[in-house]
Chains A and B, each alone.
Chain A
Amino acid sequence: QKEVEQDPGPLSVPEGAIVSLNCTYSNSAFQYFMWYRQYSRKGPELLMYTYSSGNKEDGRFTAQVDKSSKYISLFIRDSQPSDSATYLCAMGRNQGGKLIFGQGTELSVKP
């Protein structure tokens, strides 16, 4: 069993839809939870970052962490074609800087 599980998709939605992306994990030592966005043939870039449990909102994006369930989510409201990318969840403990990534979910937003 992988430390971080993420459905690879692909996920296809119409423009304007609400998108929900999720990851589960097994290591309760994780304290830092991130979502990276990776466009085709590019490097990942940090989209959202949350420490411990709770919600964080940034524009159309909301990240949620539920440590009791070992479950994290990313919601995208009013999705746009420019949101089409692979979304990778990543997690880290409080030392060492090592990140464990999920497999990534490929999202396509159709005009």
Chain B
Amino acid sequence: DTAVSQTPKYLVTQMGNDKSIKCEQNLGHDTMYWYKQDSKKFLKIMFSYNNKELIINETVPNRFSPKSPDKAHLNLHINSLELGDSAVYFCASSQANGRGGNYNEQFFGPGTRLTVL
């Protein structure tokens, strides 16, 4: 009964390649997120979607393009991979996006460990 799942779990690729990471949640949540965790464990939000609509877009290179085909899926496509993109990428989901003054717990996936050589 995996709540938030990501594929692949590990991704090793060469500089310059294009790769995608997929995320699915079966919690019925409205909002999904992509986070990047660097080698020092620093976790930083990249994007957030609410019902397929982009609501958070941090200062991320435009080589990163999220896509949400439906509210249960949020994929991350990365073009022209660079060494600095090596990190663990976490998908998360929550019931609401925080609007209206309510915070709702974010549930994280297991992460995708990306290594760019």
Contacts and interface: CB of A to CB of B under 8 A. Distances in A.
A88 B42 CA distance: 9
A97 interface: yes
A101 B42 contact: yes
B99 A95 contact: yes
B25 interface: no
Contact of B108 (A43, A94, A103, A104): A43
Interface residues of A, number: 27
Contacts of B66: none
Interface residues of B, number: 30
A99 interface: yes
B105 A46 contact: yes
A45 B108 contact: yes
**Residue picked from B96, B108, B109, B110, most chain A C-beta under 10 Å:** B108
A31 B98 CA distance: 12
Given A96-B98, A96-B99, A106 B90 contact: no
Given A44-B90, A49-B105, A97 B44 contact: no
**Residue picked from A43, A96, A103, most chain B C-beta under 10 Å:** A43
Given A98-B45, A103-B42, A43 B98 contact: no
B12 interface: no
Contacts of B33: 97
B42 to A, nearest CB: 5
Interface in A40-89: 41-46, 49, 51, 86, 88
29 contacts: A32-B103, A42-B110, A43-B4, A43-B92, A43-B108, A43-B110, A44-B43, A46-B105, A46-B106, A86-B41, A88-B41, A88-B43, A92-B98, A92-B103, A94-B98, A95-B98, A95-B100, A96-B97, A96-B98, A97-B55, A97-B98, A97-B103, A98-B45, A98-B98, A100-B45, A101-B42, A103-B40, A104-B41, A106-B41
